[in-house]
């Protein structure tokens, strides 16, 4: 039996589908990227564990994807297996009156909705981040002064051979866009424990609406993007530096520095990964020359080869 037949057998056991040549542009919020050779939508920890063991034993490359909202995928795609933790992996349960256990594919927006319905506060500022619990924990996503670090008490994950472990909040080593997982390739978060507090339902709803309104007014949400394209450098803000260099609206190919928010690179319709990389390189070099700050990219590369950019 060849590798693909073996993979198909595992998929049949877990009633999941092995798909071929899946468009990464169709599965990332940037709407950029070629095709992935193989794609599986995960629906159980057991199935995921078996697939990881298979990849481990067969030296098959894989990449874990949540909602694809912080990914820049190569124009030539990905020559491996995408393990997608999405709709099939998105249950939330209450462990006690204020502790939620969320499967890693659940969207932050849905956790925030669930929390509001149960009069729990703590998710409001994070509710507009368009990613999954797993992706948000991986990056220690944050907004408006809140971050995952403030509310995550524990998580479960599988290592690259499919063995399950638990990490406590401290062991997660969360810092600005950094976690245990950014340092441990091949690990997959399966669930995230989120500690919230009892609050007033009307105030919770009003706060979430306020944050949503701020995003709508300040961010170019009508264009495909991966959110803020550059990390916040110590002592300043990427958007401020880019704006000061007069780069708002600057464009290479279909990739543009948003007129609305200089921290966002947007896809104006037909941007390629190469356009984004060339634009980011130009911005990096100009900002460095004019301000002395060396900006780093925030999105995770998928299939992008080493050496295609120097600002990652």
Ligand X SMILES: Cc1cc2nc3c(=O)[nH]c(=O)nc-3n(C[C@H](O)[C@H](O)[C@H](O)COP(=O)(O)OP(=O)(O)OC[C@H]3O[C@@H](n4cnc5c(N)ncnc54)[C@H](O)[C@@H]3O)c2cc1C
Residues at the interface with ligand X (CB under 6 A): 29, 63-71, 85, 104, 129-132, 134-136, 138-139, 141-143, 181, 188-189, 219, 221, 225-227, 300
* 3-class secondary structure, 174: coil
**Radius of gyration of the CA atoms of the chain, in A:** 20
Question: CA 218, CA 270: separation in Å to the nearest integer?
Answer: 23
Q: Can 208 be counted among the known catalytic residues? A: no
Are the CB atoms for 306 and 280 separated by under 8 Å?
no
- Which residues have CB under 8 Å from 215's CB, separation 6+? 128, 221
160 to each of 53, 103, 181, 283, how far by Cα in Å?
7, 19, 12, 36
68 vs 199, beta carbon nearer ligand X: 68
29 vs 309, beta carbon nearer ligand X: 29
248 vs 260, beta carbon nearer ligand X: 260
88 vs 285, beta carbon nearer ligand X: 88
Structure tokens at 207: 């706060």
Question: Where are any strands of DSSP class E within the chain?
Answer: 18-23, 35-41, 62-65, 71-73, 78-84, 92-94, 99-103, 120-121, 142-143, 146-147, 152-158, 164-168, 188-195, 197-198, 225-228, 251-252, 255-257, 264-267, 300-302
Q: What is the DSSP letter of 98?
A: S
- Which residues have CB under 8 Å from 216's CB, separation 6+? none
Q: Can 177 be counted among the known catalytic residues? A: yes
Q: What is the crossing angle of helices 201-218 and 108-117, to 10°? A: 150
- How remote is the C-alpha of 138 from its chain's centroid? 7
Marked catalytic residue, from 156, 177, 207, 232: 177
Marked catalytic residue, from 228, 232, 239, 258: 228
Rounded to the nearest whole angstrom, what is the least distance from the CB of residue 8 to ligand X in the complex? 23
* 3-class secondary structure, 85: coil
85 vs 280, beta carbon nearer ligand X: 85
Q: Can 203 be counted among the known catalytic residues? A: no
83 vs 204, beta carbon nearer ligand X: 83
Tokens 């100009």 sit on residue? 286
Question: Which one, of 108, 103, 83, 111, lies nearest residue 22 by Cα?
Answer: 83
Active-site residue numbers?
177, 228, 298
């Amino acid at each position: 039996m060849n590798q693909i037949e073996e993979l198909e057998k595992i998929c049949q056991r877990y009633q999941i589908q092995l798909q071929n040549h899946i468009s990464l542009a169709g599965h990332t919020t940037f709407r950029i990227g070629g095709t992935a050779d193989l794609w599986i939508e995960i629906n159980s920890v057991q199935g995921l564990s078996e697939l990881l063991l298979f990849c481990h034993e067969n030296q098959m490359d894989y990449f874990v994807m949540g909602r694809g909202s912080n990914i820049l995928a190569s124009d030539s795609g990905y020559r491996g297996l995408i393990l997608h933790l999405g709709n099939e992996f998105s249950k939330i349960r209450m462990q006690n009156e204020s502790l939620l256990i969320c499967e890693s594919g659940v969207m932050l927006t849905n956790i925030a909705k669930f929390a509001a319905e149960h009069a729990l506060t703590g998710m409001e500022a994070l509710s507009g981040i368009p990613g999954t619990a797993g992706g948000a924990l991986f990056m220690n996503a944050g907004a408006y002064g809140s971050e995952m670090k403030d509310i995550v008490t524990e998580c479960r994950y599988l290592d690259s051979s499919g063995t399950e472990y638990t990490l406590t909040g401290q062991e997660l080593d969360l810092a600005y866009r950094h976690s245990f997982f950014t340092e441990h390739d091949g690990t997959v978060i399966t669930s995230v424990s989120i500690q919230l507090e009892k609050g007033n339902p009307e105030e919770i709803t009003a706060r979430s609406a306020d944050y949503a309104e701020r995003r709508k007014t300040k961010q170019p949400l009508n264009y495909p993007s991966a959110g803020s394209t550059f990390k916040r450098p110590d002592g300043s803000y990427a958007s401020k530096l880019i704006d000061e260099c007069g780069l708002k609206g600057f464009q290479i190919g279909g990739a543009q520095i948003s007129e609305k928010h200089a921290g966002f690179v947007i896809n104006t319709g037909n941007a390629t990964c190469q356009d984004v990389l060339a634009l980011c390189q130009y911005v990096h070099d100009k900002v460095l020359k004019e301000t002395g700050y060396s900006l780093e990219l925030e999105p995770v590369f998928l299939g992008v080869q080493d050496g295609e950019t120097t600002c990652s």
